Every structure is written in C-alpha cells, then in structure tokens.
Chain A
Amino acid sequence: MSPSPTPPSGAAGSLLSLRGVSKSFGAVAALTDVALDVAAGEVVALVGDNGAGKSTLVKVLSGVHAPDAGTITFESREVSVPTPAAAQQLGIATVFQDLALCENLNVIENLFLGREMRALRLDDVAMEVRSRELLTQLSAKIPAVDVPVAALSGGQRQTVAIARSLLGDPKVIILDEPTAALGVAQTAEVLNLIERLKERGHGVLMISHNMADVTAVADTVAVLRLGRNNGVFDARTTSAEELVAAITGATDNVVSRRAGKGRPEAEDAPDDAPEDDTPDGDAAAERVVLKKGAGDE
C-alpha cells in the first residue's frame, strides 16, 4: 500500500491545528507548508527521520521559534505563540527530552519549582496534597513524594516531568521523545501514562523514533519528511512498514527490508507494551527502531 495521506480534516473538532506553517533558518527550509491537527483526547505521534523538522515544529508550538508563515489555531481561535510563557498561558505544555529536574530536590519541590504556594511561608501541606492527587490520578508509580528526584528511575523522572507540566492545567501536552533511553518496563510505564493523559481529555503530541511505541499508544501518526507533511495515518490500520516507507520516502529500502525479514521472530518476542492498551497487537509486536537514544536532528 502506498502512503495515502488522509487529507487534514480541518479545524472542526480539533484543539490545536496548524495550517501552512513554514520556517526557514537562512537558506535552510526546516518546515514547508506543514499542517497538523491534535484533538482533545487524542494522541498524535509525530514521526520523521533526523532533520525532518520534528523539533522545529515542536519549538514553533512551544514558543521557542516564531513561524515565518502559516497559522496556529488553538481552541478555534487563531493565536500566536511568541514566547514559551505564552505557550504555557494558552495551555500548551512541552516536556523536553532533557527533563530539567533538580536532582537534589524532592518530587513535590520539583513539581512546584517556580510556582510554589505562598512564597514567604511555603504551604507544604497544600503542595503535598496536590502532588499526591496528581500522581494518583496518573497512577504514577513513585515510591514516595518526599524522596529526592535523584532516587527515581528514568521512567519515574519522566512521570514527574509530565506531572509537572500538568500543574499548569494545559490542554495540549507535547512530549519530546518520552521513551528514549528508557528500559522496557519503564517505557511501558510512560506509555500507560500517555494513555492516562488521553483519558483525561488532553491532546497529546508525541515525538518518537520508536515505531512500537507509536503504534502502541498513538491514534494518529503524522509523518514529516524533509520539512513537509508526508501523510497522516490512522495508527490502528497502518503497519510499521508503511510508516517507515513514509518516513524514508520509499517502500523498498534497507530498513523496511530488515523489518520484513525480522518479522517472524518479532512476533514471538515478548511484548513490552501494555497489553490492554495495545490497539493492534500485530503491529505493536514489531519493533522497528529507526534510531535509538538521544538527539533528534
């Protein structure tokens, strides 16, 4: 099946939508005429090869870069996002890959860092209550809220970083490579958390290089290639090969050939994704990892 992009369905029903967004750095066109929609309670995975423009798009949405052209519509209003603070105020929270937590402070202190309650006589009790509430809602597996973040695992830190972004009560949450550098169990934990965000009605935009994670948790997969849209797919009905083809721009290439060859074994391999949440067990069992580890772009 050739990549058959479903045409952008328009702003109707979508929380955040981008139309015709372009951004160049000097002579380099990082984004050209990009469209993207995120609806409430929807997980959109943003995939693409290195240099495809994923990070630039996230930076446009989080107010780090201003787009050269195009419109951003948020809750049916056309908005501009000039600064990170403006993005926060609109209700767009971004969790970057380096989580920016203070290891010497505990979970509560990290959650409320920079927005402590009662500046001159900290309201510890209220902050702890709110932290526990939030983490319980997310079914987060954190041993205790008064341990330093240094004592937490990578997945738990990711959870704290995501919970931290939720304190501002955002509508849309952007996660930059949330499962990079995480172990199998921790990845499952974070994917569960993303499901939880979806249930709470947040729109989630997730950047990932890991096709297994994408197919496990996303509703829609938006592919960027060389700074342009290269198809929007329904994660339930699209196989990983098709996604890889869209990402690399060809159906027949080294990655998809390898993926096809590895398929029989992959089906027997234990599935680390949460069983009950897997939309398509067959697709999720395939682990086509384009690139592991850090560094997007």
Chain B
Amino acid sequence: MSDLMAPPELKSGPPGPSGAGGLRGALAAMADRVRGGDLGVAPVVGGLVVIWTVMQILNPVFLSSANLVNLALECVPVGVIALGVVFMLLVGQIDLSVGSISGLSAAVVAVLFVDHGWPSWLAILAALVLAVALGWFYAQVFNRLGVPSFVITLAGLLGWLGLQLWILGPKGSINLPFDSRLVTFAQLDFLPPWLAYTLVAAGAAALYLTGHNRASQRRKAGLPATSERTLVVRSAALLAGLGVAVWYLNRDRGVGWMFVLFVGLVLVTHYALSRTKYGKSMYAVGGNVEAARRAGINVKTIYTSAFVMCTALAAFGGILAAARLAAANQSSGGGDVNLNAIAAAVIGGTSLFGGRGNAFAAMLGILVIQSISSGLTLLNLDSSYRFMVTGAVLLLAVALDSVARRSRATHGRA
C-alpha cells in the first residue's frame, strides 16, 4: 500500500538553495496529482482548447477580436452567479433558485430605477439587500428545520419567479434607459489600452512579489520553497499570456470594465477561500461536517454565509444581465440561466460532493459554456443545439468528477 511505500520520515531540514526541485519538480508533482485523480484545471482548459479549435474551424469569425470581446462580456453575468454557486457546492449544498433570484433582482432594480426614479446605486443596493434577506431566510429554514437545500431552493425557484412576475406587473417588461450608467457600464465601457496593459503588468508583478515573499519566508523558516526561477517563469508566462490577450482584444473594442469587475470578484473570492480561516472552514464543512463542528467551527454560521453569498452574487449577476440587455422582463433569469450557472461551477471543477473546488472554477466553466453558446450562434444554429451540446458537456464534466473521485479513492486520496 501507498503508506508503506512512502518515505518513512517526515521530510524536514533546510532545503537546497534551489528549493524543492524547481520547475521540473513542480511539473512532476502536477503529473503525480493528475494520476492520483486530482485533476485541477487540466480537463477544463483542455476542453476549452478543443472547443475553440473546433469552433474556429467551423467558423473563422469565432476567434476574431470582435467576437472574443463580446464573449468576455457575455461571460460576466452568469459567471458572477456561478461564483455564488461555488460557495454552495463547497459546503456540499446546492442552490437551484439562482436563476429566479437573478431575475427577481433585475425586476426590482428596473422597477425602482425606472418606474420609481430611484438613483441606480440605491436600486442596486435594495436588490442586493433583498437577496441577502432571501439567502438568510433559506439558511434559517435549512439550519433550524433541517430541510434539504435542494428542496428549499426548489421552492424558492418557483416562489421568486412568481414574485418577479408580480413585481413586473402586467407590462411584463421594463427597458432601462440606454444612457444610464448601469447600461453604459455593461455595454460601452472599456479600459483604455494603457490601463489594461498597466493592470496586466501589475498582476504579473503582484504574482511574482507574493510568491517571492512567501518563498523567502519559507526559506527563513527552513521549509522547502518555490525556486526563484519558477517564480520568474510563472510571472513571465502570466505577463505574456495576458499581454497577448489584451493586445488581441484591443484590436477591437478592448477589455470591458464589466469583465474586469468579474476578474476582481473571482480574485477576492479566491483569496477568501484559500487564505482565510473562513475559507478553510468552508472546505472543512464540505469535507466532514462533524469534524468541523468538533473543531469548534460554527457550522450553522458557515452554512448561512454560503447561502447569503450565493443569493447575493446571484442577484448581482442578474442586475448585470439586465444592464447588458438594457431591460428586465419576465424571462430575465429564466430559461437556461439557472442550469448554466450551476453547470459552469461544476464544469470548472467544483465537486458536487462538497469540499473541493475554487473560485477560478466559475470563470473557466462559464468560459466553456459561453464559448459553446457563442460558437453555435455564429453557426446560425438555434438554441436546440446549444442545449444539447451544453447538456453533453455538463454530463462529461460530472462524469469526469465522479471518475476522478473514484480514482482518488483508489489512490487513497478520497
């Protein structure tokens, strides 16, 4: 068995000057993880490459700057919702009502902003407060009555859809004025090229500096650390990759502010999940509730926070969707929004079984889904094909998750 093969003594003592094996060591460790069933982002990135290649072959417009600029913007609303779904999946629960909540928020903002003449920020704030209250209500039912989240949110899916229709009233559709900040932000605001490049450089520098600080701290403490060369290569790769992407997008309209907002949300979420006590508690609750409880974690609070984060992000995504469409109507948040958001989180690598996944899953997953959608739209295929293809990809992703889980079990990494 693996435990007997393992090196008998704990690796300790000061590492060599180059750290733990350097670049090659890092690659070998990654290959080892993949074999053990810890797939990470490999399948979704691979899938994305396949989809992009196929779509480009079918229609050369697909990878044009103009289409990618659009694709990036299209990703944001449902991507933000998917980010919320990641919170729920991490604690091993699910929210099926994200679509309805996003539609409801869109309706609330439209009614308050257009019909009642509230300032847009106040209308958005009101919708977010409402969503937080809904999430809190879910959590109370879940924590106090023990109703499964699946059922609570299924009831919510219907209930909030009804509320959305009632709020919109007989008109059924409210247009947002095109010159409002909300709509221009989602449709017309792009980063000036110099700012986009500056952000890319700042990102690469930040990656290098945090890595460098961490490595030197670890070296000081006598722990194995990432080698300087790996850090430089990693940052340079990020700089080059994002630089080329920004350059390519800048040949058309550039990088939308809304997309930058999405990236910012993903990064903040990533930090909260991976570098704070709160984040560890989320993973612990998803991994083993009883262990988390005995470790003194307030499990109910963690569940409540997951519900609230999910509904709040769903509402925010719904508002962005309304801004993008410049309207809120009866089908806002309807159709495939719900399942696309959940599918994006799962396709990106968040496990449906809880305790596994990260913030980048939402981003990669939604990129896959929107690429399929955009590619098929360019081919003039109607939504029947889109549903079928997305369904197949979702099944593939969940199957991959299940197989990886089995592989982890056989490799003793459950």
Which of A102, A113, A122, A143 is in CB contact (< 8 Å) with B3? A143
Cα A223 to Cα B408 in complex, Å, equals 43
Whole-angstrom CA separation of A109 from B281 in the bound complex: 10
Known: A113-B297, A116-B280, A122-B275. A102 touches B413 (CB 8 A): no
Choose, from A127-135, A195-203, A256-264, A272-280, the stretch at the interface.
Answer: A127-135
Pick from A100, A124, A143, A151: contact of B288, CB under 8 Å = A100
Given the contacts A132-B10, A143-B7, A121 and B275 also touching, CB distance less than 8 Å: yes
A103, A119, A156: the one within 8 Å of B287 (CB):
A103
Which residue of chain B is the closest to A164 with respect to CB atoms? B295
Q: Which residues of B contact A152 (CB under 8 A)?
A: 3, 412
Chain B residues in the interface with A (C-beta under 8 A): 1-4, 6-12, 36, 214, 217-218, 221-223, 275-278, 280-281, 283-284, 286-288, 290-292, 294-297, 355-356, 408, 411-414
The answer to whether B286 touches A104 (Cβ under 8 A) is yes
A291 at the interface (CB under 8 A from B): no
Let me know if B8 and A141 touch, CB within 8 A: yes
Let me know if A100 and B296 touch, CB within 8 A: no
Q: A100-B294, A105-B280, A105-B283 are in contact. List 19 more A-B contacts (CB 8 A).
A: A100-B295, A101-B291, A102-B287, A103-B414, A104-B355, A109-B280, A114-B284, A114-B292, A115-B296, A116-B277, A120-B276, A122-B277, A126-B221, A135-B10, A141-B8, A143-B3, A148-B413, A151-B413, A152-B412
Q: Interface digits, A135-174 against B, CB 8 Å rule (1 contact, 0 not)?
A: 1100011111101101111011000000000000000000
A125 lies within 8 A of chain B by Cβ: yes
Q: CB-CB < 8 A to B411: which residues of A?
A: 151
The 10 sampled A-B contact pairs (Cβ below 8 Å) are: A100-B288, A109-B280, A126-B221, A128-B223, A135-B10, A141-B9, A147-B413, A151-B2, A152-B412, A185-B4
Contact assessment for B221 and A129 in the assembled complex, using a CB-CB cutoff below 8 Å: yes
Report whether B296 and A125 are in contact in the complex, using a CB–CB cutoff of 8 Å: no
Interchain CA distance A83-B412 in the complex, whole Å: 35
Residue of B at shortest CB range from A120?
B276
Chain A residue nearest to B38 in the complex (CB)? A148
Tell me, in angstroms, the Cα distance from A151 to B412 when the chains sit together: 5
**Pairwise interchain contact B408-A113, C-beta atoms closer than 8 A:** no
Q: Which residues of A contact B8 (CB under 8 A)?
A: 141
Cα–Cα distance between A145 and B355 once the two chains are bound (Å) = 19
Q: How far is the CB of A156 from chain B (nearest CB, A)?
A: 6
CA distance A136 to B281 in the complex (A): 26
| Interface of A (DSSP majority class) | loop
Contacting residues, chain B, for A141 (C-beta < 8 A): 8-10
Q: A136: which of B12, B223, B291 is its contact (CB, 8 Å)? A: B12
Q: Cβ of B283 and Cβ of A119 under 8 Å apart?
A: no
Docked-complex contact A125 and B223, CB < 8 angstroms: yes
- In the bound complex, do residue B10 and residue A102 qualify as a contact, i.e. CB atoms below 8 Å apart? no
Closest residue of chain A to B272 (Cβ to Cβ) is A120
* Residues of B with C-beta under 8 A to A101: 288, 291
Those of A162-190 within 8 Å (CB) of chain B: 185
| Nearest chain B residue, comparing its CB with the CB of A153 | B3
Do the beta carbons of B278 and A119 come within 8 Å of each other?
yes
Assembly CA distance A109 to B291 (angstroms): 12
The reply to whether B291 and A102 form a contact with Cβ atoms under 8 Å apart is yes
Residues in A whose Cβ lies below 8 Å from that of B281: 114
Contact of B276 among A105, A119, A145 (CB under 8 A): A119
> Chain B residue with minimal CB distance to A129?
B221
Q: How distant is the Cα of A121 from the Cα of B271 in the complex, in angstroms?
A: 9
